[in-house]
Structure 1
Amino acid sequence: MGMTSQRTRDRLVERLRERGIQNEAVLEVMRSMPRHIFVEEALSSRAYEDTALPIGQGQTISQPYIVARMTEALLCDGERPRKVLEVGTGSGYQTAILARLVEHVYSVERIDALMQQARGRFQELEIRNIRLKHSDGNWGWSEYGPYDGILVTAAPQQVPKPLYDQLAEGGRLVIPVGKQGEQQLLVVTRTADGYNSRTLDLVSFVPLRGGLG
């Protein structure tokens, strides 16, 4: 196993802790999740590096630190969200991390081939609380809303209105926004009076595209 061993995962978690990730539940899920099955076999030896990796179709699997940071931000009030919408299933890695921490994950992906690969990985891991849809992420997934949390894994120029609308009061939206080289990771909380937004980090994500692939 070499670079996919438990010792390698332990080292990754220690790096995440050193970078400021504090949520022990998030760290434990990151420790136990086999990231190497979410990348091509040729890249499996790099699966536990703290870096983004290509997954085909012009997409990437996010850097573990960013996955941990976004997940921690979504869970930061200590309450376990019941329903979370993920926009951009991609490899399924972020989806699987969420599924170990919340009751139900609804994930939309515009590229059908990626969605089908992710579905197979969830079956392999026996994760059964994820529902997938082949759809344009800009639309969200209104059928199961409103959501206690929404996490977006690609960057629009601005927050799509349907995502605001599908966020429950008290819910939290974690989303990268902006053009390449100028993206900010935002946390938007819906209140009785509207929406509060704060910036977590400067980030670099693939753009959130419309249409189906």
Structure 2
Amino acid sequence: MKVLLVEDDQALAAALGESLRDAGVLVESVGHGGEADFLVRTERYDAVVLDLGLPDGDGTRWLAQWRDDAIDLPVLVLTARERWSDKAAGFSAGADDYVTKPFETAEVLFRLRALVRRSHGHAHPLLRLGELAFDTHTASVTLAGRPVTLTAQESRLLAYLMHAAPRIVSRSELAEHVYDRDHEPDSNVIDVQISRLRRKLGSERIETLRGQGYRVLAVEADAP
């Protein structure tokens, strides 16, 4: 999951960003709505965490512009405003969820994961494809009920493929959503990590479609 954090309180942004990164989330942080507007229109994110009290305009202003321009990525509003009228304004501008400061970082993480999951059409926090299961709350993976140990990067790669399944995911889409913008990999890095996933999960579970990309398949055990 790749998230854009829009928060002008540097201490808060640093603390929240660190907590999200510790949970395996890729986080890019900016402090102004104008910066966020540029990135939302030029980069690809799975969600935005948006503060309302920004130095260059209320966050609802930027959010409303994104929705008017059909930018439909999930947005979690983060604000110190507690009045219902302020919350209503956020939702009316196009917010998908709302967290009031002060907050528990775990709550932000759970809400983000739920927003991203639902944006891909998954209601349940446990993603299943055949015998392969990915718990979006814990980022744990099991195969036929047995735990599978993955690196943080392998886990992000598999999570994105499983969220997207059965859709084919292009190499460029993987690079944009799974890797940091400043450290986007060359094609060989993605190939190596896909190969590692195949060794751990079974080569038949990740299909390569030449010139198109990858997709995860639902593979069941052979009947006895």
Q: Specify which structure has the higher proportion of strand.
A: 1
Q: TM-score, normalised by structure 2?
A: 0.31
Q: TM-score, normalised by structure 1?
A: 0.32
Higher-Rg structure is 2
